[in-house]
A and B are shown apart, each in its own frame.
Chain A
């Protein structure tokens, strides 16, 4: 396996995702002789994982079972160890499209943070593109390098440990796209411009606060960027539920059993349309919004250098 190439079977050294149930999963590094504890019991890597197909059901020691999944940037985003606040797949998807990324693209990113976006960028630009990512925090930079090695993508990425606002991306005139997720992006717009190819490219800046956006837009305009556009994207997830609503008793049912025909929920499925009336409920399927949802992640400002 690698994060840019699917494999069929689980091998020693792979990073695999253990799926326990709805939204409950974690990554494991597969190693001969190692065991992993889950709430359903122990998984022995040598016998339970290595050589098995990805997508297999693995029975744990207590009789419970889990699924073992092939890693993807999206699964990694949901399971990675946080060293910083991270970008999630919803924002990542619009960033990828609006920056026009594809195989062969050269991208500059700062900061690397926990590498959530980095993995997605690398996946998209592989096998011929490259990611130059800049992280001013030394430990985080080192940790990111280590992860890229473990995930089999180190040849597609260069991690530089420096301050992007002072020293830029360490490359010039090579990038098709630049992404900024730093507290003061307006200080890096000049460096972004020189990192982009002479013939132009796209830029995106992610900021939680509108004041940051304002300063960034002014800087972009000052440096001659065009098509400046700010947007926000939010994901709404629905739970699928079967709902029953009780029919109120208006004192009618007894006398008027030719019925109002109101209960038409599933007349064709049930031979007797009265069945539901007798139970006094109507059933239907609904997509119910979660009780609490993400209301804001950040504003995304895009622009073009041409």
Chain B
């Protein structure tokens, strides 16, 4: 399973993966799921199903009472093995040689022999399977390789989020995440290009390094909007507008964006080395930024066309921003998904304002304590029911004849979820739209009572 690799097609590129280097050129034209062998020179060759070299009369011991660890059971030395490798001998043959030169192999039990072969195969046979990207693949991969980038969100927890949030085609979802765009990608996959998504982002722009790994068609991005988290409060109290702040905002924005793009590029580069996959097609905005930077540098001989182009792009961006703001202002979103490194309470208290009644919401947090706080504050606020704090446990099994048991190691933690359903806020409460003020009116205490009674 550690030979699972994801990569976008990109020819004439050297890929390094699991201490192996190879070129992907030969993989083009094969169906997903094809297994390749890495041959000398880094070429990939579709692996043929080989008859397992079954020794006719299988010899095996029954127990290990006479097996002594003297460190001398393997007759081949390190140098011998290295020599075999340097000669370009197939991994399969090296494994066979190791077996033949192991004095204890025949005394091992059948199960132990199996285990020995499996271990050696893993080490010497360079086999690579190319698979299609999906939430399943990417979320397991990120959790295994880059858990810090996704706030240790385990894949089964992500699966719970998508289900609890009733994410499906045709909905209008609000997503606030700092998980490299993995959660956004998962939501986009489930919506299949139907409906709309408004991504709220901190800082200068949304990070979508993981999103680009999905290889979504362009059409999926047409209804993907983004809005800065730092403007949410002004949007809520009606003070937001794209126009008045125009000049300062634009300067700040382009700077911020430049920075962000750089960050994103770094992020992507990091993801690349981490996953040892080739980078996704650069988002076209990168070009845009470099143009912008260039444009700044050549300010003196500002060429009119460039300025016009720049203005066009700014206008475009402002239009997109206005669209996102308009969508939020309707306050009729079909769900809210939060998975970030920030404290969830202020996010929830503000962002729930944008969600229609009778819609689900889910918040992820790596730690339980902030969600305890969030739970309490949401109860005080009202307008939510069926609050549930949960965690999922995942256990993998080895299933083999007479050798089935849970896998020896399991993940210690995959984070916690707080989920619930919105309902109409009491009259008068909705008006104020000051979710911070603690609400201790009669209905909320009554509701608590109602809910706490079993």
Most buried by B among A54, A93, A96, A104: A93
Partner of A55, one of B189, B394, B422: B422
Q: Contacts A98-B136, A230-B397, A285-B376 given: A120-B163 contact, CB under 8 Å?
A: yes
Question: A230 CA to B404 CA in the complex, in Å?
Answer: 10
Which of B33, B359, B392 has a CB less than 8 Å from the CB of A233?
A: B392
List the B side residues contacting A230 at CB < 8 Å.
Answer: 396-397, 399
Check if A213 sits within 8 Å of B399, measured CB to CB: yes
Contact A96 B162 (CB under 8 A): yes
Partner of A237, one of B164, B389, B422: B389
Residues of B within 8 A of A304 (CB): 33
Residues from 123 to 141 in A contacting B, C-beta threshold 8 Å: 123-124, 126-128
Cα–Cα distance between A74 and B191 once the two chains are bound (Å): 17
Residues of A within 8 A of B334 (CB): 6
Contact A238 B391 (CB under 8 A): yes
Chain A residues whose C-beta falls within 8 Å of the C-beta of B423 in the assembled complex: 55-57, 67, 69
Chain A residues closer than 8 Å to B359, beta-carbon distance: 6, 55, 70
Q: Mark B423-436 against chain A: 1 for CB-CB distance below 8 A, else 0.
A: 11010000000000
B31 touches A97 (CB 8 A): no
- Please report the C-alpha to C-alpha distance between residue A287 and residue B422 in the assembled complex, in whole angstroms: 22
> Which residues 371-427 in B have Cβ within 8 Å of A in the complex?
371-373, 375-376, 385-386, 388-397, 399, 401, 404, 416, 421-424, 426
Task: Identify the closest chain A residue to B375 (Cβ).
Answer: A240
Contact A96 B159 (CB under 8 A): yes
A11 vs chain B, min Cβ distance (A): 14
Residue B454 lies at the interface, judged by CB distance under 8 Å to chain A = yes
Determine whether B368 belongs to the interface, using a CB cutoff of 8 Å to chain A.
yes
Is B190 touching A102 in the complex (CB atoms < 8 A)? yes
Q: Is the CB of A74 within 8 A of B166?
A: yes
Q: Which residues 219-244 of A sit at the B interface, judged by CB distance below 8 A?
A: 226-240
A94 touches B156 (CB 8 A): yes
Q: In the complex, are the beta carbons of B390 and A97 less than 8 A apart? A: no
Complex contact A231–B397 (CB within 8 A)? yes
For window 229-266 of A, CB contacts with B under 8 Å fall at 229-240
Given A230-B396, A231-B395, are A306 and B33 neighbors across the interface (CB < 8 Å)? yes
Give the complex CA separation of A230 and B452 in angstroms. 38
Residues of A contacting B452 in the complex (Cβ-Cβ under 8 angstroms): 22
**Chain A: how many interface residues by the 8 Å CB criterion?**
68
Contact with B along A264-306 (1 / 0, CB 8 A): 0000000000000000000001110000000000010100101
A22, B451: Cβ atoms closer than 8 Å: yes
Interface digits, B20-43 against A, CB 8 Å rule (1 contact, 0 not)?
000000000001111000000000
Chain A residues with Cβ below 8 Å from B345 are none
Interface residues, chain A, CB within 8 Å of chain B? 4-6, 8, 19-23, 53-57, 67-70, 72-74, 89-90, 92-94, 96-98, 100, 102-104, 120, 123-124, 126-128, 199-200, 210, 213-214, 217-218, 226-240, 285-287, 299, 301, 304, 306
Q: Which 7 pairs between the two chains have the least Cβ-Cβ distance?
A: A55-B357, A103-B192, A306-B33, A55-B358, A93-B163, A54-B358, A97-B159
27 contacts between A and B (CB under 8 A): A22-B452, A53-B357, A55-B423, A56-B423, A68-B358, A74-B166, A90-B392, A92-B163, A93-B163, A94-B156, A94-B394, A97-B156, A100-B134, A102-B189, A103-B168, A103-B192, A104-B192, A200-B32, A210-B404, A228-B399, A229-B396, A231-B397, A233-B392, A236-B390, A240-B375, A240-B389, A285-B372
